[in-house]
Structure formats: C-alpha cells, structure tokens
C-alpha cells in the first residue's frame, strides 16, 4: 500500500516548520499531498523529491522554524484537499502573514466555518465566501494574528482536521493551547508533534474526553520519518477480496492505528476473513500485512460510535453491504454529507444504478444485500463521482462484483489519494 495520506501531509507540514533537515520515506505522492508540498514551499520551506522508494517517494525537507513562515506571493491552491486547507489555515493563523486559499469545485463547496471559528478566537482574521445554507467556504483570505492567543477549545464535531488546525496554530502561540475531544479521532498529529519534539500531553478527563495540551513557541527538530501504508487505501482491496469468489489476497504494509481501524472490525463482524500477518511498528504506528479471503458476508447494524475510526471507509463498506446476506443499517453519519461529495446521497445513487437495494435516511444508508449474488445494473448506470476519489474507487470494487460491470464517469480524482489504484487493481484481479 502507498503511504498514508494523513501522515504524509503532516510530515511535510512539520518538516517545513522544523529546524534542520527532515527525511521522509514512503511519502504518498498523490495530488492532495503535492498541494501541501507546494503550499509549504510557497511559504519558505525547501521540499525536494530524492527518488522513488518502497511504497512511495523519498523526500527531503528543510524547514523555516516555528514562527518563520513567509507570506506566500500568490494564492495557495489546495486542489481537492480539505486536509491541506484546514491544517494550513491553522498554521497561517498564528503567523503574521496573509494567505488566500483556493480550491476545485468540490473543495469550494465544503464548510470552513468549523476552523474559522476557533482560529478567529486565536486572533486570525478570515474573510470567506458565502456557501450554501449559510456556510463559509473557499476562496477565503486569512490574516494571521500578530499576537496569537492560546485557547481551550472543545470540538463541537468529531474532526481530526479541526483538532489539528487548532494544535498547529498553537505551535506559534505563547502559552498552552488546549483541545478537548469528546469523541476520539485519528491521532497522527499528536504522535508526530511529539516525535518532532513538541511538548504535548494527552489526558482523559472525568467525562472520558481526551484533553490535549500543547506548549506553544515550540522548537521542532528535523526527523527521519517512515510513512506507513494507508488503511483507507487498503480498504478497497480488503472489500474486493472479500467479495470476489476465490480471492486470497495479501495486502502488504497496512497502517493499523486504532483510530483508523474501524472498517476491519465491522467487516470481521460481518463474517469477513481478515488475518493480520507480521505485525510490526513503522514510524511510531502499528502496521501489519493483511491476508484477506473471499467470505460470505452478513448484514450488520454499524455502531455509530465506530464512525470516526472509519469515516473515509463508508463508501466501500456500503459496497460490501450491497453483497451481504440481509440488511446493513448505518446511522450517525451526517459528516459524510460534507466530504469531497455528499457521500450518503452520491453512494445511494451510485449503488442504485449498479442494481443494489438502498434506502437513504438523514444520517445514513440502509442496504439490503444480495447474499453474494452479483449486482445487476440498469442500462444507463453510469456512475457520477462528483470529483470524489473514494466514490470512483468504491464503485470500481462494486464493478468486480457486478454481472454487467460498472461504468464510472470520471476516474481522474483517484490521483488525489491513490495514483497506483488502477494498476494494482488490474494486477490483483488478473492474478485471481
Ligand atoms: C483527515 C481527517 C478526516 C478524514 C480526512 C483526513 C485528517 O476528516 O475524513 O480524509 O488527515 O485529519 P475530518 O476531520 O473532516 O473528519
């Protein structure tokens, strides 16, 4: 599996803020991560590709030091990447510079109020564009604070991007910045900030919430980072192997951070045979190879509490559910409506045209599986991906389990997170 997208973004951002040299191996060379690299260069860091390595690229970063970001000369083009946008807004918020953020049509429809609000409290001034239903969206201009104020912020939505934006702003803020996280989300920022030498503590309060404290005006030191493989990319191959009769697939180098491993738990509860082989630690994260065999899946009710640990994996879980025996019920997934597309509505329409039986509710999908029978699509069943990589890849997996095949209208977005997807899928299905 290619490098983890979340960890790749963070390694470039922190490398660019550290003093000295950071080496990153296994970096995901997807468009989203390259947007982060371009933005960090535009703010003064030196970021170079040294060559191809195992599972990703070898990169070198020379940082500017916390507080040393320069004013970018032109607008920062974030492409399709919500993670680049929200985390970089955090970084800029505590530097005395002004940056304009722009993005593609998908990103320009996504809500930015969730970061504007806490970053405003820190002292940043942000002018955003009005979006649908009173939301604040790109393009936006952010003027960082001259004297940023440390805040204590309780996350109103379970979002690692919002958490990370506040923590990254805290790096150049005198005093202690605190984030209270009632529902845990991916913790790569916390792990990596510590790895770079920041003073960061995590404690569980009386109500079971995680309280993260970061001491500001941190001095980060360059690191050697090995990026583990992305479990969100592995997800497509896990489900493909479970669905296609005769499959017995080993997926190498899969990150298994518990804050990311919800899909595996749900697929196992559905009867999926997923074995962890050669467990090890890579770059401070648990990693294993996964051996996945074709399995008869049963529908389940997915516990909404698992959602943050599999938030990007619902599109492909819906595909697994469409082939299971019985009904799968998902709820509590409002956040899916503000991803690269409205993943509840878009997957309902996509699975409909692929011939699955799906019901849409306000906060999830209820899916009646075929019990392993291949899907039978309608005649004009071309899938609309709406600039969403995970819709394209999920529906490619559905195509493997379809009598008539599935046609996807636009595969270009796949390059945002998984440029080698089509080649790997061809290899894996050719070997069957
Ligand atoms: C990410 C956090 C998640 C996830 C996204 C990557 C991150 O977003 O969907 O793909 O790297 O922090 P939210 O914070 O909006 O849930």
Query: Phi-psi bin for 345: left (phi > 0), alpha (psi -120 to 50), beta?
Result: alpha
User: Mean pLDDT, to the nearest integer, of 249-269?
Assistant: 98
What pLDDT is stored for residue 145 in this prediction? 98
Asked if residue 159 lies in contact with residue 181, where contact means CB atoms within 8 angstroms, the answer is: no
DSSP state of 63: -
Distance 186 CA to ligand 1 centre (A): 8
Atom from ligand 1 closest to the CA of residue 189: 12
Reported as a single tens digit per residue, the pLDDT across 344-385 is 999 999 999 999 999 999 999 999 999 999 999 766 679 999
Task: Provide the annotated active-site residues.
Answer: 312
Domains and CATH numbers, the chain: 5-226 (3.65.10.10), 231-428 (3.65.10.10)
3-state secondary structure at position 12: helix
Closest ligand 1 atom number to CA of residue 308 = 16
Judge whether residue 24 has pLDDT over 60: yes
Q: Let me know: does 230 contact 255? Beta carbons within 8 Å.
A: yes
Cα 37 to ligand 1 centre (Å): 18
The pLDDT of residue 432: 47
Looking at the CA of residue 312, tell me the nearest atom of ligand 1: 9
Q: Which residue has the higher pLDDT, 430 or 209?
A: 209
- Tell me the per-residue pLDDT of 380-432, one tens digit each, with 9 for 90 and over: 679 999 999 999 999 999 999 999 899 999 999 999 999 999 999 999 987 54
pLDDT at 22 over 60: yes
Mean pLDDT confidence for 245-261: 97
Q: Rounded mean pLDDT of 200-216? A: 98
- Full-model pTM: 0.98
pLDDT tens-digit series, residues 65-74: 999 999 999 9
Band (pLDDT 50/70/90 cuts) for residue 284 is confident
| Integer-rounded Cα radius of gyration of the chain | 21
Give residue 146 CA to ligand 1 midpoint distance, Å: 28
pLDDT at 398: 96
First vs last C-alpha separation in the chain: 19
Judge whether residue 51 has pLDDT over 90. no
Three-class DSSP category at 288:
strand
Residue 46 has pLDDT above 70, yes or no: yes
- Average pLDDT on 162-183 reads 98
- Spatial separation of the C-alpha atoms in residues 220 and 10, rounded to whole Å: 13
| pLDDT reading at 150 higher than 50 | yes
Can you give the pLDDT at residue 57?
Answer: 83
Token pair of 374, please?
A: 């291949």
Q: Per-residue pLDDT tens for 310-339?
A: 999 999 999 999 999 999 999 999 999 999
What is the mean predicted confidence (pLDDT) over 101-122?
A: 98
Q: Quick one: how many helices (H) and strands (E) in the chain?
A: 12, 18
From 172, 266, 155, 271, select the one nearest 217 (Cα to Cα): 172
């Amino acid at each position: 599996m290619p490098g983890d997208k979340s960890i790749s973004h963070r390694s470039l951002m922190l490398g660019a803020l550290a003093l000295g040299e950071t080496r990153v191996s296994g970096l995901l060379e997807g468009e989203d991560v390259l947007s982060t690299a371009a933005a960090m260069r535009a703010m003064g860091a030196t970021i170079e590709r040294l060559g191809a390595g195992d599972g990703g690229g070898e990169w070198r970063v020379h940082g500017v030091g916390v507080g040393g970001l320069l004013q970018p000369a032109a607008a920062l083009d974030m492409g399709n990447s919500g993670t680049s946008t929200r985390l970089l807004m955090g970084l800029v918020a505590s530097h005395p510079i002004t940056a304009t953020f722009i993005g593609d049509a998908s990103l320009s429809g996504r809500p930015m109020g969730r970061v504007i609000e806490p970053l405003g409290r820190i002292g940043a001034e942000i002018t955003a564009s009005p979006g649908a239903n009173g939301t604040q969206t790109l393009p936006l201009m952010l003027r960082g604070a001259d004297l940023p104020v440390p805040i204590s912020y309780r996350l109103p939505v379970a979002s690692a991007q919002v958490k990370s934006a506040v923590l990254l702003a805290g790096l150049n803020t005198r005093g202690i910045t605190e984030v209270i996280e009632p529902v845990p989300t991916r913790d790569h920022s916390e792990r990596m900030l510590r790895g770079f030498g920041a003073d960061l503590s995590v404690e569980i309060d009386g109500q079971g919430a995680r309280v993260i404290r970061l001491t500001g005006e941190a001095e980060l030191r360059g690191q050697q980072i090995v990026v583990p493989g992305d479990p969100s990319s592995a997800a497509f191959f896990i489900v493909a192997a479970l669905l296609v009769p005769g499959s017995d697939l080993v997926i190498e180098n899969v990150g298994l951070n518990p804050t990311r491993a919800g899909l595996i738990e749900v697929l196992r509860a559905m009867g999926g045979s997923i074995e962890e082989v050669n467990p090890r630690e890579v770059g401070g994260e648990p990693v294993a190879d996964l051996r996945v065999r074709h399995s008869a899946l049963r529908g389940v009710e997915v516990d909404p509490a698992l959602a943050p640990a599999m938030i990007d994996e619902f599109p492909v879980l819906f595909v697994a559910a469409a082939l299971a025996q019985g009904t799968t019920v998902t709820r509590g997934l409002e956040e899916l409506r503000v991803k690269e597309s409205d993943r509840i509505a878009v997957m309902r329409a996509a699975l409909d045209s692929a011939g699955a039986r799906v019901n849409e509710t306000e906060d999830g999908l209820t899916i009646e599986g075929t019990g392993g029978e291949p899907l039978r699509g309608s005649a004009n069943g071309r899938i609309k991906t709406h600039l969403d990589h995970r819709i394209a890849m999920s529906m490619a997996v559905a195509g493997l389990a379809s009598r008539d095949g599935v046609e996807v209208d636009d595969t270009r977005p796949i390059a945002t997170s998984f440029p080698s997807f089509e080649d790997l899928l061809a290899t894996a299905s050719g070997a069957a």
